[in-house]
Every structure is written in C-alpha cells, then in structure tokens.
Amino acid sequence: GAVVSQHPSRVICKSGTSVKIECRSLDFQATTMFWYRQFPKQSLMLMATSNEGSKATYEQGVEKDKFLINHASLTLSTLTVTSAHPEDSSFYICSAPGGGIDEQYFGPGTRLTVT
Amino acid sequence: KQEVTQIPAALSVPEGENLVLNCSFTDSAIYNLQWFRQDPGKGLTSLLLIQSSQREQTSGRLNASLDKSSGRSTLYIAASQPGDSATYLCAVSLGAAGNKLTFGGGTRVLVKP
C-alpha cells in the first residue's frame, strides 16, 4: 500500500522559534496533501489542504501566517509553525490520497512540544 | 456542516467478546466512509473503506456496514483480542480522493486478557 512519511517524529522547541515538519509520499505522487492537528484525547481536526504548485487552503480559524504550508513537489509538503507557543503543542499528522484510489494514507505523525 | 459522532467514547470488554462500534454523520451525501485504527502516540492505520454505493466491507475479523440514508456506520470486530486495544476513528469524505475527511471523536477500546 501507499506509504506516507513524516519528519521529524518528535520535536521540542522553545517558545518563539519556528519548526518545520515534512510530509512525503514515498511511492506515489500527491497533488494534494492534508494537514491535521490532534490534541490529547481528541480527534483529528483538519488545518489546511496543501496543493502542489498553488497556495494552501486553510480551514476556518487556522492562521495562515502562523502555519506556513509549502507543497514544493508532487511528493513533499512542509508545514512550518512560526513563532511557536506552548498552545501549539500538539500531534500533527499529514495525509495524502493514494495512487488513484479513494483511500487516504496517513503519515506517522509529529509530536511538537513547545516549552 | 458535516458532523461525525462516535458512540461509545470508550469501551472495555473481556477477550473473546465481539466489539460493536458506532459512527453517525449528519450529511448523508457522503462519497465514502473510512475506519481507522490509532495506537497511542501513533499515526492512523486504515482498516476499511466503504464507498457510498456499498452496504458493507469485510476484512478478516472486521466488518463495517454503511446505511447512508440514516447516516450510520457500524464496525464489528469479531472475537476480540488484547491486540485490538486502540482508538478507532471513523471519517467521511464528501468528495473524491482529493477531498478532506471529517473525523469522529473516536472510540477507545480496551480488550482485557
């Protein structure tokens, strides 16, 4: 099946710094990728849709200037959390529709802790 | 706006019992519904995908049904094992593969040996 990877798996950063998270489709191309956020004991909430070659589409309430998304190629999308604050600490997961079928394939997630 | 609800939020059963997990959604005009498994601190593993035209899907001990008109799906896990302990999430898509998923809150399952 299709494989999606994320890097890093865990990151700890200081308040005010920026953190970049990568999402890669390893064996298929993805013109669209999705970024979700999951707080402890809660479900996944969509943050934004990453579109290759064009601007990302953000969900209501998500600050586009704080969560920068770049879909530089058909296999890579990046999420940069700028000027991170402790309330940004969360589990960030990306997904991509896999290879012509309707399933969504998810990355293993990135645990961000802002101190 | 599509809303997805999962009941119960948590479930504890002895090993060997069958599990029944429920998912309901408010907008019946879905494209497909997908069930996922999530282990603590990990990503999601896709279990079953049901297209809107299908009534059920089966994979091993797992069976998922879909009643689109009533906005419901049920995941059955037969003869539960301790290794089935995880959080199970259902998600619906209103469009084709390029469309986003709306998730339910999940059901945390504990299978006691």
* Per-residue model confidence as pLDDT tens digits over B55-106: 999 999 999 999 999 999 999 999 999 999 999 999 998 876 557 889 999 9
Mean pLDDT value across residues B10-32: 94
For A52, which DSSP code? T
Q: Report the pLDDT averaged over residues B38-52.
A: 90
- Rounded Cα distance, A35 and A45, in Å: 9
The shortest CB-CB distance from B42 to any of A98, A100, A109 is to A109
Reported as half-sphere exposure (CB side, CA atoms, 13 A), residue B104 has a value of 32
Contact A32 B105 (CB under 8 A): no
State mean pLDDT over A85-113.
88
How far CA A20 is from CA of A38, A70, B61, B71, B81, in Å, comes to 17, 10, 40, 38, 39
* pLDDT-derived band at B9, boundaries 50, 70, 90: very high
List the single range of A91-105, B9-23, B83-97 with lowest mean pLDDT.
A91-105
pLDDT band at A103 (very low <50, low <70, confident <90, very high): confident
What's the pLDDT band for A100 if we cut at 50, 70, 90?
low
Nearest CA in chain B to A98: B97
Tens digits of per-residue pLDDT, A46-77? 999 999 988 999 999 999 999 999 998 999 99
**Partner-chain contact A111 B51, CB within 8 Å:** no
For residue B104, which residues of chain A lie inside 8 Å, CB to CB? 43
Largest CA distance in chain B: 41
Q: Is B65 left (phi over 0), alpha (psi -120 to 50) or beta?
A: beta
Instruction: State the DSSP code for A15.
Output: T
Contact A106 B43 (CB under 8 A): yes
> How high is the pLDDT of residue B94?
80
Query: Is A101's pLDDT higher than 80?
Result: no
A103: chain B residues, CB-CB within 8 Å: 34, 46, 49, 97
Predicted pLDDT at A108: 93
Which of A38, A44, A45 best probes binding to B when mutated, by most B CB atoms within 10 angstroms?
Answer: A44
Instruction: Tell me the pLDDT of chain B averaged across its residues.
Output: 93
pLDDT at A8: 97
Chain B residue closest in CA terms to A10: B41
Over 80: is that where the pLDDT of A2 sits?
Answer: no
Q: Which pLDDT band holds residue A95 (cuts at 50, 70, 90)? A: very high
pLDDT at B96: 61
Please tell me the distance from the alpha carbon of residue B60 to that of residue B87, in angstroms, as a whole number.
Answer: 19
Buried b / exposed e along A30-39 (16+ C-beta atoms within 10 A): bebbbbbbbe
Parallel/antiparallel/unpaired status of strands B10-14 and B107-112: parallel
Structure-block tokens of residue A15:
């308040």
Please tell me if residue B32 touches chain A, with a CB cutoff of 8 Å.
Answer: yes
Cβ-based contacts of A46 with chain B (< 8 Å): 100-102
Task: Determine the average pLDDT of the residues in B12-39.
Answer: 94
Taking a contact as any Cβ pair under 8 Å apart, which residues of chain B between 59 and 98 contact chain A? 89, 91, 93, 96-98
The answer to whether the CB of A93 falls within 8 A of the CB of A34 is no
Q: Is B1's Cβ below 8 Å from some Cβ in A?
A: no
